[in-house]
Structure 1
Amino acid sequence: MAERRNKAKTSRKTTSVGTLSKRWSQRVTQESDALDLKQGVFKLTSAKKIAASLKRSAEQSSRRKAGAYRSALSMLTFYINRAGKTLLKTQRARLERAKVALKHQFGRE
């Protein structure tokens, strides 16, 4: 059993754990089956623009498994959670405001 684990470890690219997790979450946001996101959507300067872009992506997606609102909110929450402590306070506040704006745009007050 130990030999099997060692083989699996050697077949992976030898990089730090942080790099692997960054690549994983980055790949999810870029290649998600639920949404085709506009590049840099989470870096936009306005919470309303972020929400509008997520809404547009969710409504245009034919691959999502849940409703448009749920898919958009899930992607936004995923990004906030994966960024963790590295997310600036101003950026986190903007993304939290984008959640509220998303609710308003979908008419879910």
Structure 2
Amino acid sequence: MPTDAKRWSQDVTEHSNALDLEEDVFTRDDPKSIAQSLKRSAEQSKRRKSSPYQSAMSMLTFYINRAGDGLSAHRRKVLEAAKGELRAAFGRD
């Protein structure tokens, strides 16, 4: 399989038509920081097709799912916690 084909999800994350993400947002160790960054990106985006909440949560879920087994237990825990922080940031507890 060519290298480009293996990295299509990275390309989606970096060049998504839905959000312009801050650099290295998914590598942060603070779930609240990840959620706030995604919220800002979703609210500022003029290209998203759904609500800011749906766009932000979709991008986070997409990243988690595409990383799959490549995520360490710690990184997965941080990203899953970011989902809860994202819900809270949008008042969806």
TM-score by length of 2: 0.96
d(CA) in 1 for partners of 2:30 and 2:5?
28
Question: Please, which of 47, 69, 75 is the counterpart of residue 59 of structure 2?
Answer: 75
2:72 corresponds in structure 1 to 88
d(CA) in 1 for partners of 2:5 and 2:64?
15
1:52 corresponds in structure 2 to 36
RMSD in angstroms over aligned alpha carbons?
A: 1.0
2:20 corresponds in structure 1 to 36
Among all aligned residue pairs of Structure 1 and Structure 2, give the percentage whose two residues are the same amino acid. Answer: 58
Moved over 6 A (4+): none
- Give the deviation of 1:21 after TM superposition: 4.0
TM-score by length of 1: 0.82
Unaligned regions of 5+ residues in structure 2, if any? none
Larger radius of gyration: 1
**Greater relative contact order (CA < 8 Å, ≥ 6 in sequence):** 2
- Give the deviation of 1:104 after TM superposition: 0.2
- Give the deviation of 1:23 after TM superposition: 1.8
